[in-house]
Amino acid sequence: MEKQNVTLSLSREVLKRVKMLAAEQDTSVSAIMERLLSEFASHQAGYRQARQDHLALLKAGFDLGTEGTPTWTREELHER
């Protein structure tokens, strides 16, 4: 897979902590960023698909056992 360089601006404190974590995990900051960004992109794609699926369900509607016509009136529901 071809790699491409990206410029990223981080605070010194964040970069320092990430470098320490990378060293502890015997990896690089680039590898950590690639993994995190890949997970983020996958999560977003999954979210988009789930949203589309749920919107399709809402558009299709749900069978509430009334065959489209309620068997009650508003007044009956609110009788005291």
In this predicted structure, the answer to whether residue 2 has a pLDDT above a threshold of 80 is yes
Which tokens go with 52?
A: 């589309």
The candidate with the shortest Cα–Cα distance to 10, out of 25, 26, 22, is: 22
**Mean pLDDT of all residues in 4-18:** 95
3-class DSSP string for the chain: CCCCCCCCCCCHHHHHHHHHHHHHCCCCHHHHHHHHHHHHHHHHHHHHHHHHHHHHHHHHCCCCCCCCCCCCCHHHHCCC
**Mean pLDDT of all residues in 21-30:** 97
Per-residue pLDDT of 30-42, as tens digits, reads 999 999 999 999 9
Per-residue pLDDT of 39-55, as tens digits, reads 999 999 999 999 999 99
- The pTM assigned to this predicted structure is 0.61
% of the chain exceeding 70 in pLDDT: 100
